[in-house]
Amino acid sequence: MYNKLKHIEGVNLLPKEVVGPALVGSVEYFNGEKSTYHGSLVATTHRLFMNLEDNDLVCVEEISFDNITRITVEELLMVGHILHIWQDDKLLISIKSISEGKLEKFLEFYYKYKAQHAADTASAEALA
């Protein structure tokens, strides 16, 4: 199941969209109420995907870069790193039990392509 969580199956990628690093761990998903799943976050050059394992099935949900206003990382002694994804003041997702090396790669990839996405969006709006 670990390998299935690292990939996004059944998703149609956009032209020139590339799949980047994935974080696998314990995902806390805040949609009305908090739910915890074994899952992952998979970064692409255009968006993020959240994979959640539920009864040996993997459910995939897209998260637009436009919906993410902030990412924070918390380090707890007994838990390790926890990545929090925010939309304004609302916590959308937390993922914990992830390895440090993968976290750094994931964040570098995310910040690079989030900035590129913001620049492309600004250019498109200026032309309109």
CATH code, domain with 13? 2.30.29.30
Model pLDDT, residue 99: 65
Domain range for 65 is 2-99
Question: Is residue 125 in a domain?
Answer: no
Q: Please report whether residue 112 resides in a domain.
A: no
Amino acid letter at 50?
Answer: M
* Residue 59, in any domain of the structure: yes
Quote the pLDDT of residue 1.
63
Evaluate if pTM is beyond 0.95: no
12 versus 122: which is more confidently predicted? Answer: 12
pLDDT digits (tens, 9 = 90+) for 6-39: 888 889 999 999 999 999 999 998 877 788 889 9
pLDDT, average across residues 108-125: 86
pLDDT at 100: 62
User: What's the pLDDT at 60?
Assistant: 92
Inter-residue long-range contacts of 60-64, CB under 8 Å, 24+ positions, other chains counted: 60/8, 60/9, 60/10, 60/11, 62/11, 63/92, 63/93
| Count of the separate structural domains present in the chain | 1
**Position 109 in a domain:** no
List, for residues 43-85, the tens digit of each pLDDT value.
Answer: 999 999 999 998 888 899 999 999 999 999 998 887 789 999 9
Looking at residue 65, what is its pLDDT? 95
